[in-house]
Structure 1
Amino acid sequence: MTDQPFYLANNTGLIQARPEDDLLHREVNAGIEGDTLTETQYFGFNVPEKNIHGLTYLWHHPNLNVVTGGLMVFQGVKPISMAAELFDFRIYMNDTVLDNDIHDYRLDNGFGVKILEPNKRFHLTYEDAARGNAIDLVSEAVTPVALFGDGKHFEQGMKVRGTLKLRGEEHQVDCFNVRDRSWGKLRPEALMPMPPVSWMTGSFGEDFIFNCNLMDHVGSNPQITAPFEIPQDKALNGGWVWRNGKLSLITAARKEIRRDDRTFQPQEVTLHLTVEDGSTFVARGTLAASCPYATWTNMHANISLIRWDVEGRIGYGDMQDVIWNDFAYSVASKALVPA
């Protein structure tokens, strides 16, 4: 395969993060040519007892001086992004909105993030009074930063507390989530002749959180046919587990997944994960909420809240499931063939 996405082959060990890694990486980015050079900031939250999930996103193209960003919040399963209770992204903003770096920024749609303490605490706010939508949340670290060995991407387990107003109804947020940051890499929008890729997190409490970035592979689901077959041992792009005060790499993974044939939304997923100390566990996930979101036009993602069961312990987390045209067409075209 060619033109592999920026997030593949990220499982290169973990290194120490710095407080400045929560700011823009202007010096690193300055040495990289290409319009698709990217820096991002992601936070999420959920109200699992009400099947509510939220995503906030900042996407900077420093070589184009353009910023994309905003947030989405949805309850249950939505057929299109415009059916979400809250969906407000702006695609083309001048990056003067980041003149104060990302210490304390506010986008044109009113979404903003303030760094209260780098690598530890963040304040997220937004209000749309006309629609009765608002967030006022503090996201606070419960794990160390998991910075991968290339020094250009990290993830971190967070505790999120605060209030969410959704179409006039107020909800209390008190959940766990995994945030992430990326910088210094090109993010090509070319068509990718690949199987789906799933970025999956599961949070069970301050003592147990996992993250796994995994392609569909041979045997993972019946939709995978010859052009998209990836060996299982080549499918893992990165992952870690925080358990009992220790952050460890995931060294092997297997995925079994069932998606809706029409919407591609995940219905069930089972992960078999091996940790670097040799321990293993199985996480069985079912869909709680989902909403489609095409970050750029040559891809499709379903953003989902998954209910996880690990040995009877229940947790919740993201599944950001990405597909490209070749795979989606192959599935859809078979569905149109008469039996």
Structure 2
Amino acid sequence: MTDDPALAFKLEDDCYHQLSDDPYETETNWWSFNIPERKIGCWIHTPYYPNRKTVTWRIFVWDDEGVEPGRLAYYKKVEEAPMPDNPDLRDITFPQGGYSLKMIEPGMKYHLHYEDAERGFALDFTHTGVHAPHRFQPGEPPFIQTPHYDQLGHVVGTMTLRGEKIAIDGVGVRDRTWGPRGGPYQMSQKKHAPDSNRVKHPGGPLWRQIERERGRGRIEYIYGHSLDFQTGFLGFVRMQEADAKGWAPMNVGWLLKDGVFGRIDKDKSRMLNFRDPIAGWNSHMLVDLTDDQGRTMEVEGQSVSRMSEGGYGLNQLMRWEMEGKIGWGEDQDVWVGDHYARMVNALRTTR
């Protein structure tokens, strides 16, 4: 997707980095996959803080039977566990009962294993990249300074849930981000005008205006791919730039068509979301995509199941229809709590 050698995957990118002495410098490794027949989505997410020498790891599995951590199919989180000196991300078991990660082929193939015998839960799978890791151009929101890459993968293995062994064979995406953050990730460093002056394109329903307020730490990330890995898309949505009708531009992502990847044309790609009037989550989406080769794709998606760690913002398993195919993926709908509460209040208002 890029000919820029500066953005190509390097062998050292399978290892941890350290770019500053910022105590909030963070390096994440994130793995996701789904089991559509069971409406299951799964995340493994592990931020490492090299200057604090600690790691926070969490594993969660959701289906359509619960949204918050206490009712999820599985949820486990360990915060700020001490890490050994010079940890090797290519072959590591995370502390305090965490999962094991082993690189099999640089940049392309990895094995992950985890077991919680007390709860009858385990993961044992490989992620094999469908393409080389795609590193985004620097200077594009939301990763202005921190290097970041994503990779579509074929995930194969098993999940044991409440003692039942379930086959995994489908779509997965992994990403990596590293670098100084200057504070907790969602705390904007910008100074802005009052709420009424934060909307770039006023008009339309009040809940949509609240959603596109600038300077709120708002991030939207969506992806979906067919199970033959020939068709799909991935990208960030710039909700802050949306027009009064709700269409929001997309950037830093890809279009996959007929097995060929292209970079999203951020001037011609957009998303329109529709929210459940009671729960507040995205229930339905329309996505129009164009890539740098001029190829286009129209996609429609529906929310199948979801989870919310903090009670605001969600990760959702999405069923997508595109090019006559069914695809699976996610909507990551990231908010700060008070901003989300104002949007939901506007969405529920009856007078």
TM-score norm. by structure 1 comes to 0.83
Match of 2:324 among 291, 312, 328: 312
Aligned twin of 1:6: none
**1:179 corresponds to which residue?**
174
The answer (yes or no) to whether the contact 1:80–1:292 under 8 Å persists in 2 is: yes
* Residues 243-296 of structure 1, C-alpha deviations (whole Å, 9 max, x = no match): 3443321013211112234543221111111111122111111112211124xx
Correspondence 1:128 to 2:116: yes
Aligned pairs for 1:268-283 within 5 A: 268-283=284-299
Write the deviation string for residues 304-324 of structure 1: whole angstroms up to 9, x where unpaired.
110010132101012211012
Structure 2 SS opposite 1:76: coil
Quote the residue 1:202 is aligned against.
224
Tell me, yes or no, if the aligned pair for 1:160 and 1:176 is still in contact at 8 Å: yes
220 and 104 in structure 1: CA distance in 2 versus 1, 3 angstrom threshold: farther
> Which residue matches 1:213?
236
Residue 330 of structure 1: CA displacement?
Answer: 2.1
Aligned length: 309
- Matching residue within 187, 190, 209 for 2:187: 190
Rounded Cα–Cα distance in structure 2 between residues aligned with 1:189 and 1:208? 32
Aligned to 2:309: 293
Deviation at 1:34, TM superposition (A): 2.6
SS in 2 for 1:293: coil
User: In the alignment, which of 14, 19, 38 is matched to residue 11 of structure 2?
Assistant: 19
Whether 1:248 and 2:273 are equivalent positions in the alignment is: no
Matched, 1:110 2:98: yes
3-state DSSP of counterpart to 2:280: coil
Shift of 1:194: 3.0
Aligned to 2:335: 323
1-structure distance, mates of 2:215, 2:278: 20
2:125 counterpart of 1:100: no
Whole-angstrom distance in 1 between the partners of 2:277 and 2:27: 33
Residue 93 and residue 264 in structure 1: after superposition, are their counterparts in 2 closer, same or farther (change >3 A)?
A: farther
Deviations 1:87-115 (A, max 9, x none): 0111211122x743212222223322111
* Alpha-carbon contact 2:313-2:340 (below 8 Å) kept: no
Say if 1:125 and 1:53 are closer, same or farther in 2 by CA, change over 3 A.
Answer: same
Is the CA contact 1:220–1:257 (under 8 Å) kept in the aligned structure 2?
no
In structure 1, how many angstroms separate the alpha carbons of the residues matched to 2:42 and 2:17?
A: 26
Q: CA deviation at 1:211?
A: 0.8
CA distance in 2, matches of 1:300, 1:330: 11
**Shift in CA distance, 138/307, structure 1 to aligned 2, threshold 3 Å:** same
Structure with the higher fraction of residues in strand conformation: 1
Structure 1: give runs of 5+ residues left out of the alignment: 1-10, 222-230
Match of 1:105, SS? strand
Equivalent residue number for residue 56 of structure 2: 68
What amino acid maps onto 2:231 in structure 1?
F
Match of 2:281 among 265, 271, 281: 265
Distance in 2 between the 1:120 and 1:272 partners?
Answer: 29
Checking the alignment, whether the CA contact within 8 Å between 1:194 and 1:326 is kept in structure 2 is no
Percent identity, please. Answer: 25
Cα gap change, 1:276/1:167 in structure 2, threshold over 3 Å: closer, same or farther?
Answer: same
Report how far residue 220 of structure 1 moved: 5.6
Q: Taking structure 2 as the reference length, what is the TM-score of the superposition? A: 0.80
**Equivalence for 2:160:** 165
The structure showing larger relative contact order (alpha-carbon pairs under 8 Å, at least 6 residues apart) is: 1
- The superposition leaves residues 195-227 of structure 1 with CA deviations (integer Å, 9 ceiling, x where unpaired) of 842211111123223211103222464xxxxxx
Distance 1:37 1:322 in 2: 20
Q: What secondary structure does 1:119 align onto?
A: coil
CA distance in 2, matches of 1:40, 1:220: 35
Structure 2 counterparts to residues 220-239 of structure 1, below 5 A: 221=246, 232=248, 235-239=249-253
- Deviation of 1:79 (Å): 2.9
The one-letter code matched in structure 2 to 1:238 is V
* Residue type at the aligned position of 2:187: A
Alpha carbons of 1:336 and 1:140: their partners in 2 closer, same or farther (altered >3 Å)? closer
- Check whether the contact 1:220–1:255 (CA below 8 A) recurs between aligned residues: no
Contact 1:261/1:331 (8 A) holds in 2? no
Hey, what's the Cα distance between the residues in 1 that align with 2:245 and 2:113? 39
Q: Secondary structure at the match of 1:308?
A: strand
Hey, what's the Cα distance between the residues in 1 that align with 2:57 and 2:293?
Answer: 39
In 2, the alpha carbon distance for the partners of 1:23 and 1:47 equals 29
Q: Do the aligned partners of 1:195 and 1:215 also contact (CA within 8 Å) in 2?
A: no
Structure 1 residue runs of 4 or more that deviate by more than 4 Å after TM superposition: 335-338
